[in-house]
């Protein structure tokens, strides 16, 4: 057993019983000085003392359980991480609070749970009203920086016209070769900014780091693990910070981005957008996408980029008078976390309650590197064509953890005929669509065998005389 210092709990127990230190020490057969040291955490609480407390006071020793304390610490860390203050609370402070004032810790956790429940009800209300949930939940709690950036791009329908136009001008002015831009961008950095690009032969960048710019030495170092298309993307990102700084500053001067961290994240997102627009220039890319019927693999081969980059770029093609298919793009991990979601339309999944387990983006993990298609119908009756495939990344070397995601790209059924992925699907048959929802907690479907949570605001049909296939049948 590890040494347990739980003086505050022992003191609170004594005060609740209306006992002085001398009285409790006499009851437990301890010296007053020893009890004083226990309460001041100068001595650990031992098993013999715990047994004496149990025998003399009838107190469950679980009150002093380290496991119970560990659970409260974990709950508090989760609650405080979502406080929205922008401050990181040290683990030591949380442990001190739990050890000294566990009642206050439990109260904070309860408040956090009530806040989450309020979020859930707001999302359910938004779903019933047909209102974007973000508009209601924004007033209930402050957005995390990454959420603010995501909402910023969502408000723009994932299209930044100014950066698209600047990228096209760069490609045309310097006659950069589509599909093989790494050499041209390297020359551009050297000629216009006196920046040398290096790919270290020895002493590569730390694992997972792709780009590092040394402004003093005027050197841009790129990881040798990158293929040419990825190197070009990193060079174009650096060009964005050098040549489009004023434009990016202007774009990030938005009420959506109220904090320093959210503005910094948005600057990175806009620089990455510009890099994608350089490698896949709007007009050329849209023309190729239409002629190839949005075949992602063929587009990747033509422009020298990966599957995820193509999918992300396809979700941005919303220039007036030159629109592509309005896609929504998501990236999820095996645990169901959505790390990226961009939409050229008003389609959105819930912030709370997870996403739908019947959605094919999760099935993609069972068929790595294979493109899966799905006709999916939402509770409002709208049907979508979804394609999904996994992508994997590794920093190299045996034993090093890698990353595997599933990429999902979807569009409304009325656009599905323009996609090569609609071949062989009966787009006119309503029964061919799989019923999915925005998330279990807010899904309105009355019966679903995959439901993970009961629906908010609807009573359950609880009947101990019957056993049903549906886990949470609604009354």
Instruction: Kindly write down the DSSP assignment for every residue of 389-401, as one continuous string.
Output: EEEEE--SSTT--
Q: Residue 71's pLDDT is what?
A: 66
Q: What is the pTM of this model?
A: 0.73
Alpha helices in 280-368 (DSSP H): 282-291, 296-303, 307-314, 360-363
Give the start-end residues of each E strand in 57-171.
none
97's enclosing H/E stretch is: helix 91-100
DSSP 258-274: -SHHHHHHHHHHHHHHH
| CATH numeric code, 144-279 | 1.10.10.2910
| CA pair distance 120, 440, nearest whole angstrom | 11
Task: Check: CB of residue 220 under 8 Å from CB of residue 242.
Answer: no
Tokens linked to 175: 């006659």
Spatial neighbors of 287 by CB under 8 A, at least 6 apart, are none
| CA distances in angstroms from 161 to 194, 213, 235, 279, listed in the order given | 29, 27, 21, 16
| Structure tokens given for 210 | 């792709």
Looking at residue 269, its pLDDT comes to 95
Tell me what pLDDT residue 127 has.
59
Closest CA to 233 of 331, 162, 167: 167
CA distance 45 to 64: 9
Q: CA 287 → CA 26, 158, 281, distances in Å?
A: 88, 19, 10
Least Cα distance to 351 among 192, 141, 160 occurs for: 141
Helix and strand counts by DSSP (H, E) for the chain: 18, 11
Residue 411 contacts residue 419 (beta carbons within 8 Å) = yes
Instruction: Give SS3 for 377.
Output: strand
- Strands 372-377 and 338-343 turn out to be unpaired
Residue 415: per-residue pLDDT: 94
**Rounded Cα gap, residues 443 and 455, in angstroms:** 6
> What does the pLDDT profile of the chain (475 residues) look like in tens digits?
455 666 777 787 788 788 888 888 888 888 989 888 888 878 887 778 878 887 777 766 555 655 556 667 777 877 777 666 656 788 778 877 877 777 888 888 888 878 777 776 676 666 555 555 555 555 555 567 877 888 888 888 889 999 999 999 999 999 999 888 999 999 999 999 999 999 887 667 787 788 999 999 999 999 988 999 999 999 999 999 999 999 999 999 988 888 889 999 999 999 999 999 999 999 999 999 999 999 999 999 999 999 999 999 999 999 988 999 999 899 999 888 888 888 776 665 555 445 788 889 999 999 999 999 999 988 778 899 999 999 998 766 677 778 899 999 999 999 999 999 999 999 998 889 998 887 777 677 777 778 877 776 667 777 777 777 666 676 6
Nearest to 406 by CA among 471, 341, 473, 457: 341
Give pLDDT, residue 353.
Answer: 45
Domain coordinates in residue numbering, the chain: 144-279
């Amino acid at each position: 057993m590890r040494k347990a210092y739980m003086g505050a709990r022992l003191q609170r127990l004594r005060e609740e019983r209306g006992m002085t230190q001398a009285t409790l020490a006499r009851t437990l057969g301890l010296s007053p000085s020893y009890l004083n040291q226990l309460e001041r955490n100068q001595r650990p609480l031992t098993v013999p003392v715990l047994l004496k407390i149990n025998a003399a006071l009838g107190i469950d020793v679980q009150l002093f359980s380290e496991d119970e304390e560990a659970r409260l610490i974990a709950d508090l860390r989760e609650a405080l991480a979502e406080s929205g203050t922008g401050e990181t609370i040290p683990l030591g402070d949380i442990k001190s609070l739990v050890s000294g004032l566990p009642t206050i810790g439990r109260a904070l956790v309860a408040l956090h749970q009530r806040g989450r429940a309020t979020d859930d009800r707001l999302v359910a209300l938004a779903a019933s009203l047909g209102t974007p949930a973000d508009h209601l939940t924004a007033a209930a709690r402050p957005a995390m920086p990454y959420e603010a950036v995501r909402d910023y791009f969502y408000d723009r329908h994932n299209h930044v016209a100014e950066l698209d136009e600047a990228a096209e001008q760069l490609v045309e002015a310097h006659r950069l070769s589509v599909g093989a831009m790494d050499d041209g961008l390297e020359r551009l950095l050297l000629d216009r900014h006196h920046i040398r690009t290096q790919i270290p032969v020895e002493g590569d960048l730390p694992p997972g780091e792709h780009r590092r710019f040394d402004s003093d030495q005027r050197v841009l170092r790129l990881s040798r693990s990158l293929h040419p298309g990825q190197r070009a993307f990193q060079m174009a990102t650096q060009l964005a910070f050098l040549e489009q700084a004023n434009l990016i500053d202007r774009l990030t001067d938005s009420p959506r981005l109220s904090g320093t961290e959210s503005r910094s994240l948005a600057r990175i997102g806009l620089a990455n957008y510009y890099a994608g627009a350089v490698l896949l220039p709007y007009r050329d890319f849209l023309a190729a996408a239409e002629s190839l019927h949005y075949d992602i693999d063929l587009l990747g081969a033509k422009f020298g980029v990966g599957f995820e980059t193509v999918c992300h770029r396809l979700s941005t093609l919303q220039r007036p008078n030159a629109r592509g298919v309005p896609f929504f793009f998501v990236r999820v991990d095996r645990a169901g976390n959505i790390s990226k979601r961009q939409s050229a339309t008003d389609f959105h999944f819930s912030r709370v309650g997870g996403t739908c387990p019947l959605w094919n983006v999760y099935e993609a993990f069972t068929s790595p590197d294979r493109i899966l298609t799905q006709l999916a119908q939402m509770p409002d009756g709208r049907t979508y064509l979804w394609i999904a495939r996994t992508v994997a990344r590794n920093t190299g070397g045996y034993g090093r953890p890698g990353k595997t995601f599933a990429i999902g790209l979807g569009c409304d059924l009325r656009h599905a005929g323009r996609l090569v992925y609609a071949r062989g699907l009966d787009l006119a048959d309503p029964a061919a669509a799989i019923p999915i929802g925005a998330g279990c907690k807010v899904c309105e479907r009355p019966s679903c065998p995959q439901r993970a949570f009961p629906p908010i605001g609807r009573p359950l049909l609880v009947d101990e005389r019957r056993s049903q296939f549906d886990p949470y049948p609604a009354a």
